[in-house]
Amino acid sequence: MSELPGLDLASAESYLSRERPGLLTGPLSAELIAGGRSNLTYLLTDAGGTEWVLRRPPLGHVLATAHDMAREYRVISALGETPVPVPRAELLCSDPDVLGAPFYLMERAPGSVLRRREQAAALGEGGARQLSDQLIDVLADLHDVDPASVGLSDFGRPEGFMARQLARWRKQLDASRSRPVPELDELGERLGANVPDSGRAAIVHGDYRLDNVLVDTANGARISAVLDWEMATLGDPLADLGLLVVYWERLAGIGDAIADSFADVPGFPSAAELIARYTARRDVDPAELPWYVAFGHFKLGVIVEGIHYRHTQGKTVGAGFELLGQMVGPLAKGGVAALEGEL
pLDDT (tens digit, 9 = 90+) per residue, 229-274?
Answer: 988 999 999 999 999 999 998 887 776 556 677 778 899 999 999 9
Contact 316, 307 (CB under 8 A): yes
Average pLDDT, the chain: 90
pLDDT over threshold 90, residue 223 = yes
Model pLDDT for residues 169-199, shown as the tens digit of each residue: 999 999 988 899 999 999 999 999 999 987 7
Amino acid 36 reads G
3-state secondary structure of 213: strand
- List, for residues 281-335, the tens digit of each pLDDT value: 998 888 889 999 999 999 999 988 988 888 778 777 666 677 788 899 999 999 9
Q: Select from 240, 280, 242, 245 the least CA-distant residue to 262.
A: 245
CA 238 to chain centroid, in Å, comes to 15
The answer to whether 294 touches 338, Cβ cutoff 8 Å, is yes
Q: For residue 283, count other CB atoms closer than 10 A to its CB.
A: 7
Output the pLDDT for position 320. Answer: 67
Q: How confident is the model at residue 36 (pLDDT cuts 50, 70, 90)?
A: low
Asked if residues 85 and 224 have their Cβ atoms less than 8 Å apart, the reply is: yes
Domain boundaries, the chain: 9-107
Extract the runs of DSSP E, i.e. beta strands, from the chain: 29-32, 40-45, 51-56, 89-93, 103-107, 202-204, 213-216, 222-226, 233-235
Report the alpha-carbon distance of residue 339 to residue 1 in Å, rounded.
Answer: 52
Is residue 299 within a helix (H) or strand (E), and if so which, with residue range? helix 289-312
CATH (residue range 9-107): 3.30.200.20
The pLDDT value given to residue 267: 93
Over residues 25-38, mean pLDDT: 82
> How far is residue 112 CA from its own chain's centroid?
15
**Burial zone of 163 (CB within 10 Å; 0-12 exposed, 13-18 middle, 19+ buried):** middle
pLDDT at residue 140 in the model:
98
The string of pLDDT tens digits covering residues 134-170 is 999 999 999 999 999 999 999 999 999 999 999 999 9
Distance CA 306, CA 185 (A): 14
